């Protein structure tokens, strides 16, 4: 697994896709931060993270579209299927490579908060009260945890879809469609008058489970939910490749 992990992580930086992904991610996150905090003269970072989640609908498929579809297109899939490595190890190696790049980029994007911290220090030095001034650290940490968990789930979804087609464009388009549906399911629930349907859709909503993190609180049930999505998609991806190996 570690060999596949290193190979995939290196591949992101020996081709343009890794640099394109990082550049777009940082540019988009900076713009979102500018419009939701700096322009609004607000230290509340909740809106920033919520808009960033919607940006993941486009950003994550950029990261995952090539993971397995490229192997089929370049005819190197058979080499992986006959290599002395388990299918599970191969899939996990690719998954963790994408997850590490994603997580690293999210953490680097935290430089967007430096202007907020600088302004807060200036205001604090001139303030005559003891009231807290500046972004709330607990809120930022909670949102970061939630963002990383949702990203881990989205990457697993994109990985599974990438295993179903040899076209990177098709993998990206289908992944975007699925992620949009996952993001909007809660909003659809708010439009229905059925209490049962609203409860079910709210329970499976990706965004509704992010609310606790946005308040700086850790939600174990949300952790289990996002981990379950990732686990199921990785399991299905393994099953797809096991069928191809023995089919």
What number is the average pLDDT over the span 47-51?
Answer: 92
Over its C-alpha atoms, the chain yields an Rg (Å, rounded) of 20
pLDDT, one tens digit per residue, over 183-238 is 888 777 667 777 777 777 777 788 888 888 888 888 898 999 999 999 999 999 99
Give the C-alpha separation, 11 to 63, whole Å.
Answer: 12
Degrees, nearest 5: CA angle 216-220-223: 95
The mean pLDDT value for 16-20 works out to: 89
Give CA–CA dist 22/105, Å, rounded.
Answer: 6
Q: Which of the two residues, 45 and 29, has the higher pLDDT score?
A: 29
Return d(Cα 212, Cα 219) in angstroms, integer. Answer: 6
pTM of structure: 0.91
Q: 128 CB contacts (<8 Å, ≥6 apart)?
A: none
- Are 13 and 19 in contact by the 8 Å Cβ rule? The answer is yes
Going by pLDDT thresholds of 50, 70 and 90, the confidence category of residue 133 is low
Reported as a pLDDT band with limits 50, 70 and 90, residue 20 is very high
Report the chain's mean pLDDT, rounded to a whole number: 86
CA atoms of 221 and 204, how far apart (whole Å): 11
Q: Are 9 and 101 spatial neighbours (Cβ–Cβ below 8 Å)? A: yes
Retrieve residue 163's tokens.
């295993």
């Amino acid at each position: 697994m570690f060999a596949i992990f290193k190979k995939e992580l290196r591949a992101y930086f020996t081709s343009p896709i890794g640099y394109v992904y990082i550049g777009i991610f940082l540019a988009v996150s900076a713009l979102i931060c500018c419009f939701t905090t700096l322009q609004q003269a607000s230290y509340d970072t909740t809106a920033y993270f919520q808009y960033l989640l919607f940006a993941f609908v486009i950003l994550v498929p950029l990261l995952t579209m090539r993971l397995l579809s490229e192997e089929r297109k370049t005819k190197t899939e058979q080499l992986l299927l006959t290599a002395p490595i388990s299918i599970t190890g191969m899939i996990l190696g690719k998954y963790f490579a994408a997850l590490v790049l994603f997580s690293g980029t999210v953490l680097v994007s935290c430089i967007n908060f430096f202007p907020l911290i600088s302004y807060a220090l200036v205001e604090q030095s001139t303030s005559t009260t003891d009231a807290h001034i500046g972004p709330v650290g607990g809120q930022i940490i909670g949102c970061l945890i939630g963002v990383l968990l949702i990203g881990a789930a989205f990457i697993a979804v994109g990985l599974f879809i990438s295993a179903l087609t040899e076209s990177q464009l098709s993998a990206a388009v289908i992944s975007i469609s699925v992620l949009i549906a996952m993001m909007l399911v809660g909003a659809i629930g708010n439009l229905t008058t059925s209490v049962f349907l609203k409860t079910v859709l709210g329970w499976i909503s990706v965004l509704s489970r992010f609310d606790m993190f946005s308040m700086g609180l850790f939600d174990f049930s949300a952790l289990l939910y996002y981990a379950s999505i990732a686990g199921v998609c990785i399991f299905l991806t393994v099953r797809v490749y096991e069928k191809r190996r023995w089919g």
